[in-house]
Amino acid sequence: MSARRWTGLLLGSLCLPGTLAAQASIFGVRGPGFPGRPYSAAAIGAGGSLGLFDPQSQLSPASLGPLETGAGSFTLLGDFRSVDTPAGSARTRDFRFPNVFITAPIRHQKYAFGVGATTYADRDFTLAVRDSVVLRDTVRTYTDTTRSRGGLSDLQLAFAIRTIPKTTVGLAVHLITGTDRLVARRAFDDTSYAAVLQSAELSTTAFGLAVGATRDISSKVTLSALIRKDFTARVNVDSARYGGATSLGADYGLPWTFAGAGLFRVTPLLQVATQAVYRTWAAANQGLVALGAPGASNSLELSVGGELTSRVRRTTQFPLRVGVRYGTLPFLIGEGPTSQPHEVAVSVGTGARFAKQRGGIDLSLERVWRSASGSDISERAWLLYTGFSIRP
Amino acid sequence: MTAPTPRPARRRAVPAFLAAVAALSGACSEKLLTPVNCPELCPGGQIVVYDTVLTPIAGEDSTFTGYVAANQSTGFLVSNNLPAADARGFVRFLRRSDTVFVTDTARTYTIDSVKISLTIDSRDSLQDGIFLLLYKLPPTIDSTATFSELTAAFTPEAFLDTVEVPDTLLNGRVSALLSGETLARVALVPADSGVLRLGVALTAPAATGVRILTVRAGTGAPTFQTYVHAAVADTSLQQQTITRVPSYNTYVTAAPFPQPTPTTLVVGGAPSARALMRFPWPSVLKDTAEIIRATLELVPVTPIEGLPNVSSSIVVQGILVDLGAKSPLVPDVTGTTTFTVPTSLPQPVEVLKIVKLWQGSTARPPALFAMLTPEASSFSVPIFGSSGNPAYQPRLRIEYVRPYQFALP
């Protein structure tokens, strides 16, 4: 198949329905949304441990260092979840494009830049509650449905400097923006009562700056670090019901991000990596509590993974990537006593290049367990990432 | 990441990837519904339902009469000493010519027989043995005839025929066929000018009544059919039928229908009465609330009488502008409740669709018009309390919710 046909296939795939968002979760309901992970499908396969070194991931601008040619990539995510709450269980599924990134080296590869978009927080959910209320001296049962579609996207302009030997320094400017379309509906079993249907749109804007660096310590060891600050998020609610006449403003803090990682080339066929990402989401706690949410706590993500190839000269053809990840989730749940959810994930992936290395596909499958101590809420998910890339 | 090496791909691997991508792409349909418990997993506030009861503005509720007269209704009433209304019917048919056109020529004719047909619209389904009594009335009986004048004309000499209303007939057509010796009873004399004036009375073992359709009902109008033998040589053209429908029909009652007082609201009767009620309309309901149910409750001050086992309906409509008795009604948006007699229960009418028209910047006046159907041809005339009678005044019960407090986030 020619490169032109592959290009057509990839462009056609872009027409699929979906929005720029990552996986939703029941643990993203009581906050700005479920935090996105700005990784490519290949990095996910290694548990995210390669995120600070992967030029197709958007965690750090310094990861643009290995870039030799321009590339465009995007990731398709299929999310299949089983959710257990005290009110019942459900199986859900949704499909998203959580990562789009265009990168290119400039000035004889002394510099590189990247423009991309990824999910900052995903707030896709539909919640159903069965309850009753006494009206006209009669118990009336009803079903409340709260639906949210949208979240926050992280638009990034990244720039990497590779003039220092064995070192890449990256800078990135982030625009965090998005709209959340909310619908609340109550349908009574007694059809004498009309259904309540109210909607609103919530828009959020924030800015962020990131500085990252990657240095080859030796031929076998590379280290990377990142510091990022996201500034206050400003929130506006426009009520669609009254033609936007009602507008409420609010804000909450966004976190610092501190990340560090090491890449170890154990053999020419095997490399392993470990990564830690710490976000000070507690900065958002006061603002979120003031807005009625249970609050937020700092989050930590730890991941370990590796990539094993079969031949030294064909490292891009069907490598085996495996990884494991543990993380705490920033947004608390519960009324009164709150608890911080956490998640554990294992992943496996592979990929291939074709059309004279101009096209590439990566597949990763991640199994995730999420729960919160002291709560009866948990979920399990299969996350299937498919990454596409084009190098002109 | 591993540096790429310039080697061609294994082509057989590509279809596998394509299949995986296609499978994933083809399944792109969301399913996110999850059962949860509140408030632990519910963002934002709760939907709270508020309940309020509005009563008409004092003195701003009235009864207006004269909308539909008895002769304008879709039916006329006939009864025998029914307490709700003792009624007699009167039908005046279109003039019957003394010639009939056959092959474009007016021909004289001789009458073979006459058939008078009426359509029963409603009757007491539990009352057996109902018969309609038909009378040929003199030309002196016209639209101004009173009950006593009409009944005085129901003499044995004017008697035409008895029409049985079968006990199994809930509604449908009944007829009287006059021929032979009885044909002379329906013969039109020169003073009749070719017009048959028909009086209708009723007899039954107990007091009861029927409602008979008129020409305004669209179908089922009374008919006066004359089967004639035309003076024409062609025997196949000799038998002709002359059919006449009413030019006028009405009914009269022994006692006038109840009239409103300052403490009552009346709907129904003939000429029909309608009740207009104006309500105070708080700004929270006009501008902010989402109304989920609105019920108008009309409280009878006396038990509602009428024809047993026959239902009537109270229809409520909004108004486009408030012009009092002549306020134009909002078309196609109605609230209806159906009742059977006797009853003393408050009559609830669901008026949510009407009340929603009272909201927003182009709101309609917060007023309701109540009327009875079938209008001007029902034995029932409900009398409800007005704002002048607080214990029986109308109540507009509204349930609504305020704007939902969506989570931020």
Q: Give tens-digit pLDDT for A320-330.
A: 999 999 999 99
Q: Which residue of chain A comes nearest to B356, CA vs CA?
A: A194
- Identify the pLDDT of residue B14: 58
The yes-or-no verdict on residue A2 having pLDDT over 90 is no
Contact B409 A204 (CB under 8 A): yes
| Residue A125 with chain B: CB contacts under 8 Å | 32, 34
Give the type of residue at A316: T
Contact B36 A95 (CB under 8 A): no
Confidence of residue B171 (pLDDT cuts 50, 70, 90): very high
| Residue B296 with chain A: CB contacts under 8 Å | none
| Domains in chain A, CATH or no CATH each | 3-390 (2.40.160.60)
Contact B406 A200 (CB under 8 A): yes
Mutate to test the interface with A, among B17, B28, B34, B336 (most CBs of A within 10 A): B34
Contact A354 B51 (CB under 8 A): no
φ and ψ of A43, to 5 deg:
-65, -35
Pairing of strands B87-93, B197-203: antiparallel
Residues 6+ apart with CB under 8 A from A108: none
CB B334 within 8 A of CB B315: yes
Summarize pLDDT for A27-80 with one digit per residue, the tens: 888 888 899 999 999 999 999 999 999 999 999 999 998 888 899 999 999 889
- Identify the pLDDT of residue B133: 97
* C-alpha pair distances (Å), A294 with each of A290, A291, B39: 9, 9, 10
- Identify the pLDDT of residue B2: 45
- The secondary element (H helix, E strand) that includes residue A138 is strand A138-161
- Identify the pLDDT of residue A21: 35
Burial (CB count <10 Å: 0-12, 13-18, 19+), residue B209 = buried
Q: Which residue of chain B comes nearest to A89, CA vs CA?
A: B35
Which one of A144, A248, A314 has the shortest CB-CB distance to B5?
Answer: A314
A3-13 and B13-26 helices, crossing angle to 10° = 20
The yes-or-no verdict on residue B317 having pLDDT over 60 is yes
How many other C-beta atoms lie within 10 A of the C-beta of residue A60? 31
Q: What is the DSSP letter of A344?
A: E
Mutate to test the interface with B, among A53, A353, A365, A379 (most CBs of B within 10 A): A353
Q: Which residue of chain B comes nearest to A69, CA vs CA?
A: B4
3 state DSSP class of B171: coil
The lowest-confidence range among A82-91, A154-163, B30-39, B101-110 is: B30-39
* C-alpha pair distances (Å), A217 with each of A167, A312, B207: 9, 22, 111
| Domains in chain B, CATH or no CATH each | 49-68+258-401 (2.60.120), 87-253 (no CATH)
CA A297 to CA B17: how far, in whole Å?
Answer: 40
CA B209 to CA A83: how far, in whole Å?
Answer: 66
- Identify the pLDDT of residue B7: 45
The yes-or-no verdict on residue B277 having pLDDT over 90 is yes
Query: What is the number of CB-based contacts under 8 A between chain A and chain B?
Result: 225
Pairing of strands B246-253, B87-93: antiparallel
ipTM above 0.90, yes or no: no
The yes-or-no verdict on residue B191 having pLDDT over 60 is yes
Confidence of residue A9 (pLDDT cuts 50, 70, 90): very low
Contact B401 A186 (CB under 8 A): yes
| Residue A334 with chain B: CB contacts under 8 Å | 40
CB B289 within 8 A of CB B386: no
Give the type of residue at A363: L
CA B57 to CA B276: how far, in whole Å?
Answer: 11
Nearest chain B Cα distance for residue A300, angstroms: 22
